[in-house]
């Protein structure tokens, strides 16, 4: 291939990768702003409305192990392409207008996101092996940005275009199809096998590092979803107007982007990620303490601190997955284990905080429980972020290693 052809191929690879990353959250984040309209139109209760997102989050955890099997059979690039197309189909089905289609489409879209969540770290390992930190930064920032844009534009698009919730939520299919078109040249090439998935699963399950990475992934997700679900309500109960409480959550998302753009690049160059996970956890703890002690005093400050800490935490969790396994097959297997258990654990967080709020009658006990989870996140991050001692894993068949 000529130099020009190589440059074009590289440009298409990066463009497709970036656009794929932007599709990892809009199908989830775009529902909340129009949830009340969905409930009113279809006659759903509050529990029924909440179940739309619950179905998707459960799929993120339960169906993540499908990804290594698909990658083994079809290769990573074709598996990612399939995920994008399934996502577009699920989003379109969800907007069809009936209750069965709503939940079926949510399940299909959740399945697609589960697959893409797992394969993206392995795609980084396969296509950008010498720039893992940089491209982890790129795709995690795309993930956060996609969520922010989807949640922020849903209502303005609805009002500007005179659309209903069906049209607005169906728009998430457009970038998915666009990403699939850009990624098609990668998928049409001879597939790089995903590796021996059963061997990779046995290997990662036999490694202590796997369980540290899994615990870190789950706990940082849990502390994030607590904030996502309850911070606007906490701020409203503290006296902030509803619109300001919503803006504060948006500010958190913006702060996350600042962290995801920088932290993986810096941490990816280091032998140990312990200092980085420590700073991320301390920032998250400081944000929780601020919300607990003075929620209405300088809420913008607590939201920025929380956003920096939680953006860094998710970026580090995904970076460590890519660094701790030596090849794309092992990355896919480790990613599946960590994200499957992690999202199941994360789904419990908002529910348990709600139970504590109802039983205690205030927010002190729930936020103290959240702080406890942050402490466990710090401990798990210390274990996951430290380099594996040379030869520590050599006596076992595990493939999870120091820096991949």
Of 23-27, 180-184, 344-348, 349-353, give the range with the top mean pLDDT.
180-184
Phi then psi dihedrals of residue 193, to 5 deg:
-55, 145
Q: pTM, whole model, 2 decimals? A: 0.80
Cα-Cα end-to-end distance for the chain = 30
Q: In Å, how far are 53, 140, 283, 317, 384 from 259, measured between CA atoms?
A: 26, 10, 11, 13, 19
pLDDT digits (tens, 9 = 90+) for 46-65: 678 878 877 888 888 888 88
Q: Is the pLDDT of residue 10 over 70?
A: yes
How confident is the prediction for the chain on average, in pLDDT? 85
Mean pLDDT of 355-363: 87
Count the Cβ atoms, other than its own, within 10 Å of residue 37.
16
Helices 299-323 and 208-237 cross at an angle (nearest 10°) of 160
Q: Which numeric CATH code is attached to 207-386?
A: 1.20.1250.20
Mean pLDDT of 251-259: 88
State the pLDDT confidence band at 401, using cuts at 50, 70 and 90. very low
Mean pLDDT of 375-383: 95
Q: What angle do CA 79, 85, 87 make, to 5 degrees?
A: 100
Count the Cβ atoms, other than its own, within 10 Å of residue 299.
22
Q: How far is it, in rounded angstroms, from Cα 296 to Cα 311? A: 23
Q: How far is it, in rounded angstroms, from Cα 380 to Cα 209? A: 10
Q: Which of 19, 27, 46, 30 is nearest to 156 (CA)?
A: 30
All residues at 6 or more sequence positions from 157 whose CB lies less than 8 Å from its CB, including other chains: 163, 168, 171
> What DSSP string runs through 4-67?
HHHHHHHHHHHHHHHHHHTTSSHHHHTTGGGHHHHHHHHT--HHHHHHHHHHHHHHHHHTTTHH
Domain ranges of the chain: 1-188, 207-386
Please give the pLDDT value at position 384. Answer: 93
pLDDT digits (tens, 9 = 90+) for 287-319: 999 999 999 899 999 999 999 999 999 999 999
What fold is seen in the domain 1-188?
Growth Hormone; Chain: A; (1.20.1250)
pLDDT digits (tens, 9 = 90+) for 311-349: 999 999 999 988 887 778 888 888 888 888 888 888 788
Mean pLDDT of 181-206: 71
Q: How far is it, in rounded angstroms, from Cα 363 to Cα 231? A: 10
Asked if the domains at 1-188 and 207-386 fall in one CATH topology, the answer is: yes
């Amino acid at each position: 291939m000529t130099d020009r052809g190589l440059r074009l191929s590289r440009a298409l690879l990066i463009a497709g990768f970036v656009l794929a990353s932007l599709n990892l959250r809009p199908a989830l984040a775009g529902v909340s702003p129009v949830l009340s309209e969905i409930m009113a139109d279809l006659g759903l209760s509050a529990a029924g409305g909440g179940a739309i997102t619950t179905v998707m989050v459960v799929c993120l955890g339960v169906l993540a192990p499908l990804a290594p099997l698909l990658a083994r059979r079809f290769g990573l690039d074709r598996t990612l392409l399939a995920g994008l197309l399934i996502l577009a189909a699920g989003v379109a089905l969800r907007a069809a207008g009936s209750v069965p289609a709503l939940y079926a489409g949510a399940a299909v879209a959740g399945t697609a996101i589960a697959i893409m969540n797992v394969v993206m770290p392995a795609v980084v390992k396969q296509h950008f092996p010498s720039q893992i930190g940089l491209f982890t930064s790129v795709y995690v920032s795309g993930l956060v940005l996609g969520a922010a844009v989807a949640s922020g534009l849903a209502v303005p698009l609805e009002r500007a275009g005179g659309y209903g919730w069906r049209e607005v939520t169906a728009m998430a299919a457009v970038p998915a199809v666009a990403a699939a078109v850009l990624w098609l040249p990668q998928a049409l090439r001879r597939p790089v096998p995903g590796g021996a998935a059963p061997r990779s699963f046995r290997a990662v399950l036999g490694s202590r590092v796997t369980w540290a990475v899994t615990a870190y992934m789950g706990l940082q997700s849990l502390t994030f979803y607590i904030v996502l679900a309850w911070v606007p309500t906490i701020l409203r109960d503290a006296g902030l107007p509803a619109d300001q409480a919503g803006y504060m959550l948006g500010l958190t998302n913006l702060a996350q982007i600042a962290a995801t753009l920088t932290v993986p690049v810096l941490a990816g160059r280091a032998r140990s990620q312990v200092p980085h996970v420590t700073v991320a956890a301390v920032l998250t703890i400081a944000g929780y303490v601020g919300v607990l002690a003075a929620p209405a005093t300088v809420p913008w400050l607590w939201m920025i601190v929380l956003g920096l800490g939680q953006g860094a935490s998710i970026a580090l969790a995904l970076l460590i997955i890519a660094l701790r396994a030596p090849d794309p097959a092992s990355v896919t297997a480790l990613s599946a284990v960590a994200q499957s258990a992690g999202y199941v654990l994360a789904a419990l967080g908002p529910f348990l905080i709600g139970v504590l709020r109802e039983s205690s009658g205030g927010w002190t006990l729930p936020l103290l429980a959240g702080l406890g989870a942050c402490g466990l996140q710090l401990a798990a991050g210390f274990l996951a972020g430290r380099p594996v001692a040379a030869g520590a894993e050599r006596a076992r068949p595990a493939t999870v290693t120091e820096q991949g």
